[in-house]
Amino acid sequence: MKQSAKLTFLVLLFVLCACESKKKVVFKTFSEKIDSVFSIVPDFSGVVLLAKKGELLYHNSFGFRNFETKAKVDTASIFELASVSKQFTATIIMLLKDDEKLQYDDPVEKYLPNLPYPNITIRQLLTHTSGLPDYQAIMDQRWDKRKVANNDDILEYLKKFHPSKSFEPGEKYEYSNTGYVLLASIAEKASGKDFIEMCRERIFQPLGMTSTNIRTLPEKVAIENFALGHIFVKQKNRYVRADSFPSSNYAIWLGNRKGPGRISSTTSDLLKWDQALYTDKVLSQKSLMDAFEPMRLTNDSISFYGFGWDIKTDKNGGKIVLHTGDNPGYKTEIIRHLGENKTLIILCNNAHEKFEDLVKALNAILENE
């Protein structure tokens, strides 16, 4: 039986078990349910955390920080979050809105003049409905990769080469890293402060997220417990560091960008973040409601992406907010069941091909807990 088929079977098995009489106990503990999922993907590398009302149900590590040295991952290992970072960028924008430094329906040109894409609002950047082109494509074609690009460089290349927009603002949803680059730059213009410092001062430090930061490459190298990204190479029949592939080089020559990614963290720190979002520690609950609301498009249809969060419902109709991340060698995800205060966090540093199946299986178990 193929692994994907086995995982699908396990999902069904767990759901059925939850509906069975308590006399028919298949697993002695919750941890055994989770361990049984990972028993059929023994090469998974990463950390998995499941919690209910902030209390750990399961927290375990697998695999290696470095497959060459066999240094093991532990639950305190630090991973690239990739696009899971976007929820923090959105939060900075929401904080600045609360500070009356900006408004969601302000035009982008109010803060970033001469950008050749008029009539786009901050709200449309937040919800991926701006129609902006992919900045990475034009940078890949034109940028001198011996240098490391930052947000100002990206903005300059968008102005200079003016790649065509994908659609008129507000017409539809299209995931846009470009939009989140612009959001970080807008945050700096509106506040007069560095985006990275704002993340540290207004989110990471107040919440005691001591392992979380936006780090340079040398800073990451200096961290012994940093989990390196790996990719499986069939010809070699082993996992190889992702940064040894030319296709991963963009993470280096775009290494100073802010907004769409670059935060690195741990599962424990992300649980602190998750639980803080049920309080007013960072944002008021009133302000946070905006982040979890779908976006109405110009054709009156609905896009289910809020401010840095995908919006879904669970089997009982309860609201779920989540986000995935994908960087060379990494796959990450956080899922939050808002009504029941249940959390799934999975950080993977070998971009496992069964990652999505694992997430589905784990979330099915969590829903029935």
pLDDT, tens digit, 9 for 90 and up, residues 122-154: 999 999 999 999 999 999 999 999 999 999 999
What's the rounded mean pLDDT across residues 59-67?
Answer: 97
Interatomic CA distance for residues 76 and 22, integer angstroms = 35
Q: Look at residue 25 and tell me whether its pLDDT is greater than 70.
A: no
Give pLDDT, residue 250: 87
At residue 312, φ and ψ (nearest 5 deg) are -140, 180
Interatomic CA distance for residues 17 and 8, integer angstroms = 14
For residue 165, give both structure tokens: 């927009």
Contact 347, 61 (CB under 8 A): no
Give pLDDT, residue 10: 52
For the purposes of burial, counting CB atoms within 10 Å of the CB of 131, is it exposed (0-12), middle (13-18) or buried (19 or more)? buried
- pTM score, two decimals? 0.92
Average pLDDT of every residue of the chain: 92
Neighbours of 205 (CB within 10 A): 12
Give pLDDT, residue 369: 86
Q: Look at residue 246 and tell me whether its pLDDT is greater than 90.
A: no
For residue 161, give both structure tokens: 């080469």
Q: Look at residue 27 and tell me whether its pLDDT is greater than 80.
A: no
CB-side neighbour CA atoms (13 Å) of 309: 25
Q: Look at residue 362 and tell me whether its pLDDT is greater than 80.
A: yes
Interatomic CA distance for residues 329 and 241, integer angstroms = 7
In this structure, the strands spanning 310-313 and 319-327 are antiparallel
Q: Look at residue 242 and tell me whether its pLDDT is greater than 90.
A: yes
Give pLDDT, residue 26: 56
Give pLDDT, residue 6: 54
Q: Look at residue 1 and tell me whether its pLDDT is greater than 90.
A: no
Task: List b or e across 103-126, with b for residues whose CB sees 16 or more CB atoms inside 10 angstroms.
Answer: ebebbbeebbeebebeebbbbbbb
Q: Look at residue 16 and tell me whether its pLDDT is greater than 70.
A: no
Write out pLDDT tens, residues 118-129. Answer: 999 999 999 999
Write out pLDDT tens, residues 189-199. Answer: 999 999 999 99
Give catalytic residue positions.
83
Contact 303, 172 (CB under 8 A): yes
User: Could you identify the residue written with the tokens 């289910």?
Assistant: 304
For residue 283, give both structure tokens: 């944002």
Domains of the chain: residue spans and CATH: 42-353 (3.40.710.10)
Interatomic CA distance for residues 300 and 355, integer angstroms = 34
What's the rounded mean pLDDT across residues 196-205?
Answer: 98
Percent of the chain with pLDDT over 90: 86
Q: Look at residue 3 and tell me whether its pLDDT is greater than 90.
A: no
Give pLDDT, residue 248: 81
Write out pLDDT tens, residues 92-106. Answer: 999 999 999 999 999
SS3 351: coil
Q: Look at residue 12 and tell me whether its pLDDT is greater than 70.
A: no
Q: Which long-range contacts (CB under 8 A, 24 or more apart) does 244-253 make?
A: 245/328, 247/328, 248/328, 248/329, 249/145, 250/136, 250/140, 251/327, 251/328, 252/148, 252/217, 253/143, 253/145, 253/146, 253/147, 253/148, 253/149
For residue 78, give both structure tokens: 């630090």
